Structure 1
Amino acid sequence: MKKAFLVAVAFVAFTAVHAQKIYATKSAQVKFFSSTKAEDIEATNSQAESKLSDKGQLMFSLLIKGFRFENELMQEHFNEKDYMNSDQYPKSEFKGAITNIATVNFAKNGSYPVVAEGNLTIRGVTQKVTAKGTLTVANGKVSTKSVFKIKAKDFGFTGKLITGTISEELEITVTAKYD
């Protein structure tokens, strides 16, 4: 009897875990913008991978060398050791959850304000971040958008880089259209 009960509990737990819907894309877009007196720096990476479950788990991952700039020299400098050091730290990622996922109805068209909390890793430094955004459901398709700011020093950018080349705060825009 005890064995049958454990098998039943394991089956229910297994079914509950696998019953969630996962939305995924390999073409999410991450942009960053930095503005100083010297110059504005903007770059876009349109090859970010993202997964979102209808239970709220959220993940973004991208290769640093995937960022594209208008100015090729900026792109070259961006990947060097003094900036992103993309040879040593080739990836950046966010792992977290939408904290108010219960307010989203995946079966009904609409735009839902959401809040994501989790860990953002840049240059090997991980910081907890919170970002407001919008999750949109349209004819069964799901998309997300968020614009938030991070402090450059929180991710290891120091010295002349801050207020000289890059601003103290970087604006990050993340958009994803899930399959």
Structure 2
Amino acid sequence: MANSAKNSFYVTTPIYYVNDVPHIGHAYSTIIADVLARYKRLTGYDVLFLTGTDEHGQKVEKAARDRGLTPQEHCDLMVGPFKELWDRLSISYSDFIRTTQERHIKVVQNIFQKLYDQGDIYKGFYEGWYCIHEETFYPESQLVGGCCPACGREVEWLKEESYYFRSSKYQDRLQAYIKDNPSFV
């Protein structure tokens, strides 16, 4: 069957943290994405199936430090087991992206700069009770004895400067689109 832009299909796995080796959860979500990609190919779609690794974050930094490595050294060692598992499972991905690759960095920087230049990105502060293990902020009302409700570990008050997306700028258009296209969500 001839393919056209109309017959394109994109599927992605999460981009996995490399704080440790892949486990059954990584395999599960990747197999599901692979099944979908294979089905779409069989039905005539031009499929882009992306997977990869997220090589940033506190868990990755801590895992590297615990191993006596720089974060990049740690990531370079940890990406192998993910690719090896996908090969063992015959995963049919089209592309494997690493967030430390120059091609990824350039695209993210270009998108971010464009959004910033048009006023969609702004700096602000976020603060609250944060669980490092869960990488999640929690309101005080959800804490259990002052600890994380998910894992029971201690939380810490964290205040950090962050970049925000000005979604309010698009609120009216998004609401109208969702109203006019109820199957969109």
TM-score (norm 1): 0.23
Higher strand share: 1
